[in-house]
Structure 1
Amino acid sequence: MGNMNGANVPGPGANIVALRKDRGLSQVALARRSGVSVSLLSKIEVGDRALTQSVAASVARAMGLTLDEVLGRTPEADLSELSYAIRRFDLPGEPPRDPERLALEVDGLNRNRWNSELAEVSAKLPPLLVKVTNQAHATGRPSDWTLVADVYSVVYWLAARHRWMHLAELATMKQRLAAERADPIAAIVAARDDAGTFLNSGDFAGGLAIVDRAIVRAESSLRGRERAFGLGLLHLRGLTLAGRLRDKQTTNQHIAAAWRTAEEFPEDIAEHGIHFGQENTATHVISTASDMERHREALDTAEDLLRAGLTLPATRVGPLYMNIGRSQLALGDRDGTLESLEKAWTVAPEMAAVHPTSLELTRVLTSLHKRSNPRLTRLAKRAGIAM
């Protein structure tokens, strides 16, 4: 599979201009249909304000598009090997000669995921997916089908990072099928990822419905630590979705539930490729506070989190710095935004190269900055944004 580094994607706000003009819409017409002010839309288009995903979802609906189409997908790599492996879900071949190594290989794949090594993940996925699927068909054991579901969760993650939503939705469909034959926790992780496809497409209400249904299932099917882990994952997804909807009551309910559940874990844990605990809960609260324009709250929470010290992997720390940058920019701190973006690129360069928040903040900084700034120039070049 091709290298995913440095995909050249314009900032999401710049996409709106082209999409609007393709449809023959004026700023006034699009603003009216979207329920946003003409002034805000104008500032987003010229790069004076960053496009948030809540506004992007409203604009997308107004133009009959999905959120990922507005945010901009990265150029699609050669997915033929991965597509072949997915297509043969029900046509198993020979099981691997060393099945005892499969769990270790899945752990290694997840370490690449946590390190935000998108290219390495994409290279490892096809052969590993074939092996775990063949092994699960050969034994029929729930534990082996859980590994299959876990690998499809990584397929979803890779696709979501690039906003390849057809692949993300196919991955979660196969993940759900594997989960039907797996341990009960697999169905909860699959529901969390399924709700993620709604999040990535801009259907926040639909995603919340998936989360609500999965919470009921988790409460009845899981026990002990596994129950707390599963519910925690669902509440994190729920607070993100509710925050994008600007539903304060539902957001606060999920935040409170996530914090209660996280208290059961003195340190963040990683199971089925996903982290949960008090640190990861804090990163989600920071992101959602920024979504809801509670920027001072977001920065105060981030300050407390960073002061305590982070143990989370790059795949969580990179977006954390992007979200800190979002709130800094909203409060007029351009130097702080640039510093946060630089940290995101240092921690998770492959993710920063394709993440819409990273690209949008860089676009706005380059638009607002009227004087030469070598640091910003270097950052814009890495992001593929013309100065």
Structure 2
Amino acid sequence: MSVGRIPGPGANVAVCRKACGLSQAALARRAGVSVSLLSKIEVGDRALTQGIAAALAHAMNLTLDELLGKAAVEHAEEHRLASLNHAVRRFDIPDTPPPHPEDLPYALAELNAHRYRTELTAVLRKLPGVLTDITNHAHATGSPDAWARVADTYSIVYWLAARHRWMHLAELAVMKERAAAERAHPVAATVAARDEAGAFLNSGDFAGGMAVVDRAVVEAESALRGRDRAFGLGILHLRGLTLAGRLKDRPAAEKHIRAAWRTAEEYGADADEHGIHFGPEQTASHVIATYSDLDQHRTALETADDLLRGGTSLPATRIGPLHMNLGRSHLALGDRDAALASLEEAWQVAPEMARVHPTSQELMRVLTSLHRRSNPRLTRLAKRARVPF
């Protein structure tokens, strides 16, 4: 998706701090970080992590998306976003059902294919119409299968909104997803809870997200059976380990990591259900990100070596962020060249996601700040990302 130039979330910290009338020392004290770290984040010598960003946002009474900055859409696509908001608002207002309901599963599968390839523009263009047709069909039939498709479509709305940090739309999508899930199969409620916890994650309320996960795990353990149980518990534990990593809660992270590996082994080879990828490889990609959040960077890189050595079936939605997290670990260990190589991989695999993802933006900002001499590879990538260098 074509967007305006985004300098990186860390560049917004000083702007927000000054707007709040705070000195670096005052903000650092409120957020529980060192003045030295805050100074390095503001000038681009250190990347702003999601955990530190949440602490800084809380200290300034801001939401995380306000601090990180929302990703914009091209002017030509603004009407698509307006159409999507219109479709979401009309969740409870039945209209004419589509003439060919047999085509709806294929339309949803096509949307998920765009999602897996991180084709954000294509998802935005097609989502309003698919959401409208699927919702109207569910109202007309009332079947659990139809409402499950509604819930799955709202999961895509949440995903698209979260990628752009459109948090109002993300939270509204989660509300509609939960409402649809109540009329669908039990596993739909588990997916909705996973997305609800994701909305807490995206807003920076990691403890709130953990509470959602803990509650949903208890409900899934009693409501789900067989493969649905392994899938549902697995995706909840993946969300849990991510939240625990952001909280720097190692015991909780390790608990969810062990549970995620256990359910992934029970589930078997990676597969897609309800628009979500789960299995051992997906688990590994989340564990790598959490090790990076916990500053266990060498462990993250070693785990990635094991995952990538024989190739992986993971979709671009996971491979792109995986390389971003590897870049983060390389940078933390002082290997700028490896960090740049990882960032290049992320842009190669998932360019539209890399353009709007805060981790990618921060890697680009810090690498361009730290490189005091010309670097042709970085110059080419910065030009593609619309970052002056």
* TM-score higher than 0.5: yes
Partner of 1:25: 22
Select the residue among 31, 34, 47 that pairs with 2:31. Answer: 34
**Unmatched tracts of structure 1, length 5 or more:** none
Partner of 1:206: 208
Deviation at 1:93, TM superposition (A): 1.0
Partner of 1:10: 7
Tell me, yes or no, if the aligned pair for 1:322 and 1:341 is still in contact at 8 Å. yes
Tell me the SS of whatever aligns to 1:275.
strand
Deviation at 1:6, TM superposition (A): 3.8
Partner of 2:287: 285
- Between the aligned partners of 1:366 and 1:126, the Cα distance in structure 2 is 38
Please list the CA deviations of residues 315-356 of structure 1 after superposition, one character each: whole Å capped at 9, or x if unmatched: 110000000000000000000011111110010000000000
- Between the aligned partners of 1:195 and 1:7, the Cα distance in structure 2 is 29
Please list the CA deviations of residues 186-215 of structure 1 after superposition, one character each: whole Å capped at 9, or x if unmatched: 100000000000000000000000001111
Deviation at 1:7, TM superposition (A): 4.1
Tell me the SS of whatever aligns to 2:323.
helix
Partner of 1:257: 259
Please list the CA deviations of residues 27-69 of structure 1 after superposition, one character each: whole Å capped at 9, or x if unmatched: 1111011100001111111111111111111100000011111
- Between the aligned partners of 2:263 and 2:55, the Cα distance in structure 1 is 32
Deviation at 1:308, TM superposition (A): 2.4
**1:163 paired to 2:165:** yes
Tell me the SS of whatever aligns to 2:266.
coil
Tell me, yes or no, if the aligned pair for 2:3 and 2:72 is still in contact at 8 Å. no
- Between the aligned partners of 1:8 and 1:185, the Cα distance in structure 2 is 40
**1:66 paired to 2:63:** yes
Taking structure 1 as the reference length, what is the TM-score of the superposition? 0.98
Q: What letter corresponds to residue 382 of structure 2 in structure 1? A: A
Q: What letter corresponds to residue 192 of structure 2 in structure 1? A: A
- Between the aligned partners of 2:388 and 2:367, the Cα distance in structure 1 is 12
Deviation at 1:362, TM superposition (A): 0.5
Please list the CA deviations of residues 222-243 of structure 1 after superposition, one character each: whole Å capped at 9, or x if unmatched: 1000010000000000000011
Tell me the SS of whatever aligns to 2:277.
strand
Select the residue among 232, 235, 240 that pairs with 2:234. Answer: 232
**Unmatched tracts of structure 2, length 5 or more:** none
- Between the aligned partners of 1:64 and 1:93, the Cα distance in structure 2 is 41
Partner of 1:112: 114
Partner of 2:86: 84
Tell me, yes or no, if the aligned pair for 1:6 and 1:384 is still in contact at 8 Å. no
What CA RMSD, in Å, does the superposition of the two structures yield over aligned residues?
0.9
Tell me, yes or no, if the aligned pair for 2:3 and 2:71 is still in contact at 8 Å. no
Q: What letter corresponds to residue 50 of structure 2 in structure 1? A: Q
- Between the aligned partners of 2:204 and 2:310, the Cα distance in structure 1 is 34
Partner of 2:103: 101
- Matched length: 384
Tell me the SS of whatever aligns to 1:263.
helix
Please list the CA deviations of residues 151-173 of structure 1 after superposition, one character each: whole Å capped at 9, or x if unmatched: 00000000000000000000000
Q: What letter corresponds to residue 48 of structure 1 in structure 2? A: D
Select the residue among 340, 344, 353 that pairs with 2:342. Answer: 340
- Between the aligned partners of 1:87 and 1:229, the Cα distance in structure 2 is 30
Q: What letter corresponds to residue 327 of structure 2 in structure 1? A: G
Partner of 1:378: 380
Query: Structure 1 residues 7 and 226, CA, compared in 2 at 3 Å: closer, same or farther?
Result: farther
Tell me, yes or no, if the aligned pair for 1:9 and 1:73 is still in contact at 8 Å. no
Select the residue among 314, 318, 330 that pairs with 2:332. Answer: 330
Tell me the SS of whatever aligns to 1:16.
helix
Percent identity of equivalent pairs? 68
Taking structure 2 as the reference length, what is the TM-score of the superposition? 0.97
- Between the aligned partners of 2:247 and 2:161, the Cα distance in structure 1 is 23
Deviation at 1:87, TM superposition (A): 1.1
| Dislocated runs of 4+, deviation >6 Å | none
Deviation at 1:92, TM superposition (A): 1.1
